[in-house]
Amino acid sequence: MKHIFKPGKDATKPVFLMLHGTGGTEQDLLPLAEMVDPDAAVLSVRGNVLENGMPRFFRRLAAGVFDEEDLIFRTKELNDFLDEAAKEYGFDRLNIVAIGYSNGANIAASLLFHYADALKGAILHHPMVPRRSIDLPDLTGTQVFIAAGKNDPMCTAEESEELDELLTDAGVETAVHWEMNGHSLTRTEVDAAAEWYNAVFGK
């Protein structure tokens, strides 16, 4: 997968897995990593699917309707890539914290839904429920921050609450931050995510 890896200043810190929204690239979210923890290593990945020329992490059938078969395939593809990247760059595979926005947050949530040890934690900006009617793995000890919009037209407040409930039931310790800025990725929610990260993982 096309990506950027930036070694961290402190090898004990989590490695940030940066996952862009629809139409983004591996460059898009690099400033977020800097805002959350400038000492952490960064692995920023570009989605392998194109929708009208715009990179995504998996296909969709319509707005808000995921191609479930492709989602499962792409989630495994990303998880396998993380295994390979950990070996190539010499970082701890069990110390990855994903930071994703929109489509990127959805693939990060899908990693959690499918693989118990894929992520140590995640910062999910405007995620949706990736799949329903499946049993989640035991995610006890996993830490997840959800930034959601009370008036998000793409991801309703009810959907955010459903995702929070599904993750909590699987053992995740969650924190939900609410905004009133639609589906936008705002500075205030990034600041809230950074505050949460520092409290949970320490700076």
Catalytic residues: 102, 152, 183
Say how many residues make up the chain: 203
Amino acid, single-letter form, for residue 74: R
Question: Residues near 92 by Cβ (< 8 Å), separated by ≥ 6?
Answer: 15, 86
Is residue 110 within 8 A of residue 130, CB to CB? The reply is yes
Query: β-pairing, 49-51 with 54-56?
Result: antiparallel
CB atoms within 10 A of CB 21: 23
